[in-house]
Amino acid sequence: MAPPEPAASFAPDHVGRYEILLPLGTGGMATVYLARVLVVDDLYRNVALKLMHPHLRTDDGQSTAQLIGEAKLAASIRHPNVVPVLEVGEDPHGIFLVMDYVEGDTLSGIVRAALAGGATLPPGIVARILSDALLGLHAAHELTSAEGAPLSLVHRDVSPQNLLVGTDGISRLTDFGIAKVATQLDATASGVVKGKVGYMAPEQALGRRVDRRADVWAAGVIAWEMLAMRRMHGPEDQMATLLRVVSEKPPRVRDVRPDLPQGVDDAIASALSLDVEQRCPSALELRRRLLDAWKEIGPVADTAEIGEYIWGLVGPKLEARRKRVETVLAERDDAASPAQHSGERRRAQHLAAQGEPSHTEATTDQSSAWSEHRRAAARRRSFLGIAAGVAAVGALAGVAIYGGLLRPPPSTSRTELPSAAGTNSNELQPSPIPAPSASVSSDAMATASPSNRTILLRANAPISAVRIGTRDIVLVTPTREVELQLTESERGGAVALTATAQDGRRVSVKAGADETSVQLTFAPATRAAPARTTPVKPEKKSPGLAPTPYGR
């Protein structure tokens, strides 16, 4: 479990009605952010927001369908040991999925922290984490349709990276990004194997049809590794690991930990049978076998013990995260204008919220985190007033263009989901947030009304993005000349424009009512100007983003 490599450290200020605070991690399909949403007055709710990478919006729609499918599946599973999905929506920054924020760490992060301290995980802690994970997995496997028919869902990516352990002592399964129900299992392209190879069952590695027993195998690998405190498969490449998975009988955990009771070894081995017909038939049955055998070791830890233990391992990391949030809010507050009149501020807050929180969001308390820093409430209200005013102007702007596509305003495209609750590498590795990569689409321009006014921008450096009021146009291919088509509300008078160069420099101008072309001059590139998005200061002693704790 190697430490993560550096990744991008910039984030949008807002996605939909959610204020972005910090990036939590990034993967091949999306980046996950810590965000917050206003609930009432000065009370905020923290959430984990999964935002699809911009370049994936130009594909054939499979990535979008995959994220929406994940949201539907996860939102249908209502269980304390599955991370709830609250909402899926779309705004100019992309498709996003909102989940409960679990303050804690992934199981892989917990194991790394323990190894860094030269310790092993206490047996009682291992038993409780496994028990919670298997209960959540069984709930997913038992999911039924609205008519009550079994869906035979298979997660297909059960791994330490997709198991969150909270400081509340509860472990939760997450990331149903490549999960499949029985009716979809044959839809995977031939020869394509999805998941982390170190946790794949043999039949999954061979590309054959899988059922819940493939997830039972993955749970057995996790149990083996938590007790052995090392990977079951060595550091060989993925192809070598795949060959071992399909051809070699897994080692017994007592080969590494001879002090463990035979019953525990047998229970884990029953989940790691190469013959799927001889394998432990369900997650619930594996949990029963493990807990029965665990009586020879000692008591299973309760949630209070788990929470205390997890805080001891990752508490400093979580404290640093809280301080970073305070710093981000303070910096934004410093940039905001003086406080508005109380009545205006409250009206602006209402606009910023884009409607009242759903009943689901207001009442779901499982694994939720609420803002703890009430002492900064007064200054944050001022910031929200400004943000809300911008949101109101954005609502009048009508349409935002992002990645070469016309997108409707967030308030008309967001879809509420009821509350409920890859990659092929062994460990999800962080990757930089992709840069915008397409010029403004000619189809998008053609969609605009022909009577709209156009402005030709010429610049002394390649332009990568332009903001008109609160409407953003992101160019896939940076260029020194771009023709902008204004909306009906923009063409009647002077227009404020802010252009961002490819290297981050910015310049703001105002085009008069009769101007059809504007010359932009970026300052010499002696010092990179701040990008439109908010830079995030890295945590102390952290080389970059960790693998996302909410999946890919």
The per-residue pLDDT for 397 is 37
Cα distances from 234 to residues 20, 111, 183, 240, in angstroms, run: 38, 16, 35, 10
The CATH number that applies at residue 490 is 2.60.40
CA atoms of 154 and 526, how far apart (whole Å): 54
Tokens representing 11 are 């984030």
pLDDT digits (tens, 9 = 90+) for 53-111: 877 765 556 667 776 777 777 788 899 999 988 888 888 888 898 999 999 999 999 99
Domain annotation covers residue 406? no
Domain annotation covers residue 341? no
Among residues 305, 330, 364, the one where a domain terminates is 305
Domains held by the chain: number = 2
Q: Is 88 helix (H, G, I), strand (E, B) or coil?
A: strand
The per-residue pLDDT for 369 is 33
The per-residue pLDDT for 167 is 96
CA atoms of 469 and 520, how far apart (whole Å): 17
CA atoms of 207 and 194, how far apart (whole Å): 9
Domain annotation covers residue 218? yes
Tokens representing 26 are 């990034």
Q: Are 238 and 426 in contact (CB under 8 A)?
A: yes
Domain annotation covers residue 238? yes
Domain annotation covers residue 363? no
The per-residue pLDDT for 461 is 87
Residues acting as catalytic residues: 157
Residue 251 amino acid letter: P
CA atoms of 175 and 162, how far apart (whole Å): 6
Cα distances from 4 to residues 25, 238, 427, 549, in angstroms, run: 10, 18, 10, 13
CA atoms of 63 and 351, how far apart (whole Å): 31
Q: How remote is the C-alpha of 353 from its chain's centroid?
A: 21
Average pLDDT of span 142-153: 90
Enclosing domain of residue 483: 442-523
Query: Whose structure tokens read 């779901």?
Result: 364
The per-residue pLDDT for 319 is 96
The CATH number that applies at residue 256 is 1.10.510.10
Among residues 274, 305, 336, the one where a domain terminates is 305
Q: Are 290 and 116 in contact (CB under 8 A)?
A: no
The per-residue pLDDT for 61 is 62
Between 45 and 494, the higher pLDDT residue: 45
Domain annotation covers residue 113? yes
User: Nearest Cα to 365, choosing from 42, 130, 46?
Assistant: 46
Give the Cα-Cα-Cα angle 537, 540, 542 (nearest 5 degrees). 90
Give the Cα-Cα-Cα angle 171, 107, 329 (nearest 5 degrees). 85
Domain annotation covers residue 155? yes
The per-residue pLDDT for 529 is 40
Among residues 268, 288, 305, the one where a domain terminates is 305
pLDDT digits (tens, 9 = 90+) for 187-226: 444 445 566 889 999 999 998 999 999 999 999 999 999 9
Domain annotation covers residue 211? yes
CA atoms of 402 and 408, how far apart (whole Å): 11
What percent of the chain lies above the pLDDT cut of 70?
65
